Structure 1
Amino acid sequence: MMFLIGHTNDILVNNSDLIPLKEWLILKLHSGHYYWPTVSPKPNKYPILNSDISCNVLVVGGGVSGAITAFLLTQRNIDTVLVESHQIASGSSLVNTGLLQFSNDKTLTSLIHTFGEQMAVHFYRLCRDAIQHLIHLSQEFPEDARLIPRSSLYFASTTEDADMLREEHSTLQRYGFDGSWWNEDQISTNFPFKKPAAILTKGTPRSTLMPSFIVWSNIQFSREHESMKNPRSAAVNLPKTR
């Protein structure tokens, strides 16, 4: 059996300085009130795992990563089970922005300085290719769960930041990544604010409704595909242990 680990709703942390080694401290990923549940349909319920089962691949975690992984595996007729200890899409997927883009918190220029040119550029290209694959994949889902390419604006907050952004734009252009340089006049003409400089990237995909809907769509398609050859559900919940 192969195990694939996704995100779960809690993080288990062992701190021997504070508690005995056999005990665990549970840290919640988020708290408060969330936006996505207010605009999302009622989530599906899945059976509790209360007996032994067997499969070729067990995916742990019912968020975006786990759901897409399970979908791709079942597409290839691989016997797959996805397990989640809480409600599906109730972890990081519940509170993320719903935006996907190939650029990262760490710029390509910075990644090159840290990991070298070959690894950094390869990583950015993998991110770009993955997004294009997700756009294509999402066309099989209901309309509200599809990814739609949209433009994004990465702007400099201060004049000092503009120099760093200019260098990043040059780096992106050098390695074939999309991005147009905008000056202050172009920004103020197209947006209701002024910034010294920006990089406009076209075709950045964004989910039209909610990340949780993408999760549910992936799992539902996986279950329908699985039922063609096996009546067992492809998604189950773990029994509560605390």
Structure 2
Amino acid sequence: MSQHNQGEGKLPQNPEPYWREFIDLPEFPQLNEDIDVDVVIVGGGITGLTSAYLLVNEGLKVAVLEADKLLNGTTGHTTAKITAQHDLIYDEFLHNFGRSKARLYYEANTDALNFIRKTVEEHQIDCDLQEEDAYIYATTDDYASKLEKEAKAYETIGIDGELVDSIPFNIDIKKALIMKNQAQFHPIKYLAHLIDIIKEKGGLIFEQTTAVNVETGEQPTVLTREGQRVTGNYVLSCSHFPFYEGLGLFSTRMYADRSYIIAVKTKEQYPGGMYISADQPTRSLRSTSINNEEMILIGGESHKTGQGMDTMEHYKALETFGEQVFGLEEIAYRWSAQDLVTLDKIPYIGEITSGQRNILVATGYRKWGMTNGTAAALLFKDIIKGEKNTYQSLYSPGRFYAHPSLKNFLVSNADVVKHLIKGKIETSDKNIDNLANDEGAVITVNGHRKGAYKDEEGNVHIVDTTCTHIGCEVEWNSGERSWDCPCHGSRFSYTGEVLEGPAEKPLQKYDYTMLDNLTSEDSGY
């Protein structure tokens, strides 16, 4: 394994997820001409590819546009639990939206789980699908009380669950809540098979093809960065952050959250099941087989993107937890994921606005994209076919509940304003000369805030730290060697290229040798 450490307790140097290793995914060309199809799908993750699979099976002509490589985004960085147990959520939904909507959310995600089971069985897909019970556990009395309320919500909604007093780990818990008959799998193996079917049935797939806008109308047209036009009867925005916001204003109605995962070989054998802590910081556990060896995926440590402590500390915290609970023999991989959280914690899936019924969006999965992404694809298929879908109003992007949405809207946007102002007045005493190799930091050059990274060979990469979305100041992420925006979660490589939206334009780059000539006109935003 390329990512294995060279000794106990040492984190791998590069953050690469396990899922893509050992899998030979086909490569697809960049789009270089204008085309017409029935449905244009933007985004090559679980939502986009499942949508394409469903629609080609309906006889529709489909084009998938992926800005990078297929399955290299959020889907490739998941823990790949397939479950309707999404943290402590059902008691909250019950009180905020009522039994009907809480039950619908459970049913939508259970339907998605059953669809994946059925698809794996129908096509005999070898994707390590395993039936597992899912557990939320509490280590404090406060969260044990919340688990008891969640258990009552399960009973009210009609969820097959059970409250227990122990789990088979060296963790002192107060209570745990089980959701039975859930599952886990290898997402890339599963979706690689769907890609083959999409190709066989005439679906078009293009990589390195970035969609930047939509011309609306009876037949909307997606415009690419290179100037190509893709016209269809429907456009599905299945990218992590919607590439086209229309009047949706999604950047004000979601926030970006990062979390961390390590894949470890342990001294203690894993007893089965999928686990997540109710308490903070979050701890998530599941097993997987890597090269015929059992490994445990330990996840958690979530925080708002671009905010908080040095990101390497989050990996170290997971390492410490793993050592205490299991005893670590080896840390094989480390990686992180970015997820979007909506105001009311239910994803936005459906018509982007009431006036644009042929432009559909799916976003805001709050770390639970395997089921919510599949539910989105099933909903899209029904909308396009003109068939009734029970979950359309639940997920509608046009919804806005006074409680808790209004409160969360105000809090979230106050946080954006705080970081916008804070970034403009912060100064740095760092300079290029005192940066070590493989170190990045905010520096000050002739009174201007810039970002510098010195690579392992000692080459210096300078960027403007002003995010190209709304002008907040990005911060250095040492764990991923990226520049992350604390306002809406845009992320950029150390050379300034966009890694995550909503930003569409790269950070301005500077020639290291020309920095002494920097003037006020070059100060960015």
In which range does the TM-score fall when normalised by the shorter chain?
0.7 to 0.9
**8 Å Cα contact 1:64-1:212 kept in structure 2:** no
Change (3 A) 1:141 1:47: farther
Equivalence for 1:57: 39
One-letter identity of the residue aligned with 2:147: L
**8 Å Cα contact 1:151-1:200 kept in structure 2:** yes
Instruction: Give, in angstroms, the shift of residue 151 of structure 1.
Output: 1.3
Equivalence for 1:203: 181
Instruction: Give, in angstroms, the shift of residue 38 of structure 1.
Output: 6.1
Bigger-Rg structure (1/2): 2
Q: Which moved more, 1:120-129 or 1:133-142?
A: 133-142
Asked if 1:235 corresponds to 2:213, the answer is no
Change (3 A) 1:76 1:147: farther
Distance 1:214 1:127 in 2: 18
Equivalence for 1:11: none
Instruction: Give, in angstroms, the shift of residue 99 of structure 1.
Output: 1.0
User: Which of 136, 148, 168 does residue 118 from structure 2 map onto?
Assistant: 136
One-letter identity of the residue aligned with 2:195: I
Deviations 1:154-203 (A, max 9, x none): 1112122111101111110222211111114xx3xx33433111012221
**8 Å Cα contact 2:88-2:147 kept in structure 1:** no
Higher strand share: 2
One-letter identity of the residue aligned with 1:112: L
Distance 2:25 2:194 in 1: 13
Distance 1:50 1:65 in 2: 24
Percent identity between the two aligned chains: 22
Asked if 1:91 corresponds to 2:77, the answer is no
One-letter identity of the residue aligned with 2:207: N
Distance 1:59 1:40 in 2: 27
> TM-score, with normalisation over the residues of structure 2?
0.36
Distance 2:193 2:20 in 1: 18
Q: Secondary structure at the match of 1:223?
A: helix
Distance 2:85 2:124 in 1: 27
Instruction: Give, in angstroms, the shift of residue 140 of structure 1.
Output: 3.6
Q: Which moved more, 1:194-203 or 1:146-155?
A: 146-155
User: Which of 176, 181, 193 does residue 158 from structure 2 map onto?
Assistant: 176
Q: Which moved more, 1:122-131 or 1:82-91?
A: 122-131
Give the CA RMSD over aligned residues.
2.3
Within 5 Å, which residues of 2 pair with 1:20-35? 33-35=15-17
Change (3 A) 1:40 1:178: farther
Aligned residues: 200
Distance 1:237 1:118 in 2: 41
Query: Which of the pair has the greater relative contact order for Cα pairs under 8 Å at 6+ separation?
Result: 1
Q: Secondary structure at the match of 1:139?
A: helix
Asked if 1:163 corresponds to 2:145, the answer is yes
Distance 1:239 1:70 in 2: 17
Instruction: Give, in angstroms, the shift of residue 40 of structure 1.
Output: 3.3
**8 Å Cα contact 2:136-2:176 kept in structure 1:** yes
Distance 2:197 2:164 in 1: 42
Equivalence for 2:196: 220
Distance 2:96 2:181 in 1: 28
**8 Å Cα contact 1:60-1:84 kept in structure 2:** yes
Within 5 Å, which residues of 2 pair with 1:8-157? 33-37=15-19, 39-141=21-123, 143-145=125-127, 147-157=129-139
**8 Å Cα contact 2:154-2:160 kept in structure 1:** yes
Distance 2:87 2:178 in 1: 16
**8 Å Cα contact 1:57-1:79 kept in structure 2:** yes
One-letter identity of the residue aligned with 2:139: S
Distance 1:35 1:144 in 2: 19
Change (3 A) 1:236 1:68: same
Distance 1:220 1:71 in 2: 9
**8 Å Cα contact 1:151-1:202 kept in structure 2:** yes
**8 Å Cα contact 1:153-1:198 kept in structure 2:** yes
One-letter identity of the residue aligned with 1:193: I
One-letter identity of the residue aligned with 2:108: L
Distance 1:146 1:64 in 2: 17
Change (3 A) 1:94 1:38: closer
Higher helix share: 1
Instruction: Give, in angstroms, the shift of residue 74 of structure 1.
Output: 0.9
Instruction: Give, in angstroms, the shift of residue 118 of structure 1.
Output: 1.9
Instruction: Give, in angstroms, the shift of residue 239 of structure 1.
Output: 4.2
> TM-score, with normalisation over the residues of structure 1?
0.74
Deviations 1:85-122 (A, max 9, x none): 11010111121111121122451110122222222221
Change (3 A) 1:146 1:81: farther
**8 Å Cα contact 1:49-1:236 kept in structure 2:** yes
- Which portions of structure 1, spanning 4 or more consecutive aligned residues, are displaced by more than 6 angstroms? none
Instruction: Give, in angstroms, the shift of residue 225 of structure 1.
Output: 2.3
